[in-house]
Chains A and B, each alone.
Chain A
Amino acid sequence: MTDRPLRIGVGAGFADDRIAPAVDMAKCGTVDWLVFECLAERTVGRENLTRQKNPEKGYNPWLEQRMEAVLAHCLDHGTRIVTNMGAANPAGAARATRRMAADMGLGDVPCAVVQGDDVADLVRTQPHLKLLESGEPLESILPRMASANAYLGADAICRALAARTPVTITGRVGDPCLFLAPAMHHYGWSYDDWPKLAQGTTAGHLLECSAQLTGGCFADPGMKDVPGLAELGYPIAEIDADGGLVVTKLEDTGGRIDVATCSEQILYEMHDPSAYITPDCVLDITDLTLTDEAPHRVRVAGARARPRTDSYKVTVGYFDGYIGEGQVSYAGINAVARAELAAEVVKERLRLRGFHYPEMRVDLIGMSSLHGMKDDRPEPYEVRLRIAARTDDRKAAEAVGFEVRAMHVNGPAGGGGGSDPSVREILAVQSLLLDRKLVEPEVFVEGEL
């Protein structure tokens, strides 16, 4: 082990993230680990449906492109890849990665696999489990359930990393765990070394959304400027054996990383800062300090942690009907009144056709679609009407966009730019807690060690 700190770089922070920054990271040769975090709340449910249609699929659709872009560089430099791109089929993702590596002439690339997060069969036997969002028992959505996945922890990932394969692929795991695990594995931290687990988890929380730490989701021209937004560099965590942590990015990349960007991201998706629950610990950042050590280098200290809870959080995906949507635009004098008239006409048409919707939303884009309408705002010159409605009936969903587009010819004056009618089948998610003892993470290797 050398004296320099372990360097963990980000390759992706969401399913459809840019690929070029990961290539920069893979080429640089100065990161020990490259982590791709690619699973949103309902992604696994969606991929589970894909897998039911094709048993070899069900992993992140960008897997091959990402691996093709970085794998050769990573093998050259000894940079190991960890990713949750396995989604609903980690073993399939490992096989796809190995096929691609072979096709590229990279030889036999063994991939470690973490699975066992799929607990659909298990929770089906426990319909009394309470859904955290609705407060109803799981039974209420069981007939429509599409997936149930537990957020596994760094312990399961560490078991996979111990196989020392170039690539480790997981399904659903806690996002920060993807970053904590390499540090635990490298330094041999124990699972009750709370100060170090706290720092490693904090690193993971900061890094898991990639560019959101390095200037993404931050710029406000004239107030908070960010250079090089088109070429944002993704973040790197430097972690030492004692849990000392600096976050930084590659030189010659766009963006900025400083106390301001880190302050925004540390609170991202956090509720009580003294109790951020992950599969590994309960993180407390109340006394966290952030210090600009040098340009684009921020020292992070003071995170604390308490023991993990007795349960895994499980995300349950279920079918929740359809959302039909349509949009059409108005401009000039009295534009808002014409858009509002169009909305009334569409609603009346849908009623006359016999459709009923448990929930409908009318937005005036350019005026009230994001922050609602509370104050007396001046009327905009142009406005885009958007109508969206929920229904279990696909035909009723289709009718929404159809009737909005009909405003071109049948509606108020000057309605233009009607959208193609949109119908989305909704895969919603809720959560529940499942006793840890019931879940058995599995680790194995695809390929020869």
Chain B
Amino acid sequence: MVRVYHLGHGRAGDKGDISNVSVVAYNDEAWHILERELTAERVMDAYVHIAKGPVTRYELPNLRALNFVIEGALGGGVTRSLAQDMHGKSLSTLILTIDLPVNAPYPAPLS
């Protein structure tokens, strides 16, 4: 297993009740794994207890990036949410906890 955390990095954005969470691969090898394994289904599974869904995945091969649009993720919308993190800024780090069923060396940190 390899954690998404060791393959890529990302950011979460908000619009109404929709969160979008990106994952940008650290290198080509990580990109091929993410593109193949980090499916919308796996992401929905990771967010299912806090988001209604569905999850839509968009691919940007030039940027080695995936963009996941997660509906019903922000407690009814940023401006009326009861959540502590109304914007869902912290949702970017939940996707990084997903384990993918492959063996892969961890890329070097991006420093």
Contacts and interface: CB of A to CB of B under 8 A. Distances in A.
A269 B110 contact: no
B32 to A, nearest CB: 17
Interface stretch (A229-237, A328-336, A425-433): A425-433
Interface in A209-224: 212, 217-218, 220, 222-224
A390 B82 contact: yes
Interface string A267-300: 1111111100000000001111110000000000
Contact of B11 (A223, A268, A374, A390): A268
Given A264-B22, A370-B84, A370-B90, A271 B69 contact: yes
A102 to B, nearest CB: 38
B84 A260 contact: no
Contacts of A222: 109, 111
Interface stretch (A153-161, A358-366, A404-412): A358-366
Contacts of A427: 79
Interface string A371-389: 1111000000000001011
Contact of B79 (A42, A224, A268, A372): A42
B79 A428 contact: yes
B20 A267 contact: yes
Nearest to B109: A223
B82 A361 contact: yes
Interface string A195-215: 000000000000000001000
Contacts of A274: 58
Contact of A260 (B24, B49, B69): B24
A41 B78 contact: yes
Please classify how large the interface on chain B is, using the bins under 10, 10 to 19, 20 to 34, 35 or more: 35 or more
Contact of A369 (B5, B84, B110): B84
Nearest to B67: A267
A271 B15 contact: yes
A290 B60 CA distance: 12
A42 B76 CA distance: 15
A168 B42 CA distance: 47
A263 B65 contact: yes
A286 B61 CA distance: 8
Given A223-B109, A290-B63, A264 B79 contact: no
B61 to A, nearest CB: 9
B37 interface: no
A428 B49 contact: no
Interface residues of A, number: 55
A42 B84 CA distance: 18
B35 interface: no
Nearest to A426: B80
A272 B62 contact: no
B67 A370 contact: no
B104 interface: no
B16 interface: yes
A133 interface: yes
Contacts of B24: 260, 263-264, 267
A372 B63 contact: no
Nearest to A226: B111
Contacts of A220: 9
A269 B20 contact: yes
Contact of B82 (A41, A272, A389, A429): A389
Contacts of B65: 263, 267
Contacts of B49: 372-374
A287 B62 contact: yes
Contacts of A340: none
Interface string A230-274: 000000000000000000000000000000100111111111111
B85 A370 contact: yes
A285 B90 CA distance: 25
Contacts of A273: 58, 60, 67
Given A269-B15, A273-B58, A428 B80 contact: yes
A260 B63 contact: no
A133 B79 contact: no
Given A223-B109, A374-B49, A263 B63 contact: yes
What 6 A-B pairs are tightest by C-beta distance, nearest first? A269-B13, A267-B22, A361-B82, A428-B80, A264-B11, A372-B50
6 contacts: A222-B111, A260-B24, A263-B63, A271-B20, A285-B60, A365-B84
Interface of A: 41-42, 132-133, 212, 217-218, 220, 222-225, 260, 263-274, 285-290, 302, 320, 323, 359-361, 363, 365, 369-374, 386, 388-390, 426-431
Given A217-B89, A263-B22, 17 more contacts: A224-B109, A260-B9, A260-B24, A265-B11, A267-B11, A267-B13, A267-B63, A269-B14, A271-B20, A271-B58, A272-B69, A290-B63, A323-B82, A363-B83, A365-B84, A426-B79, A427-B79
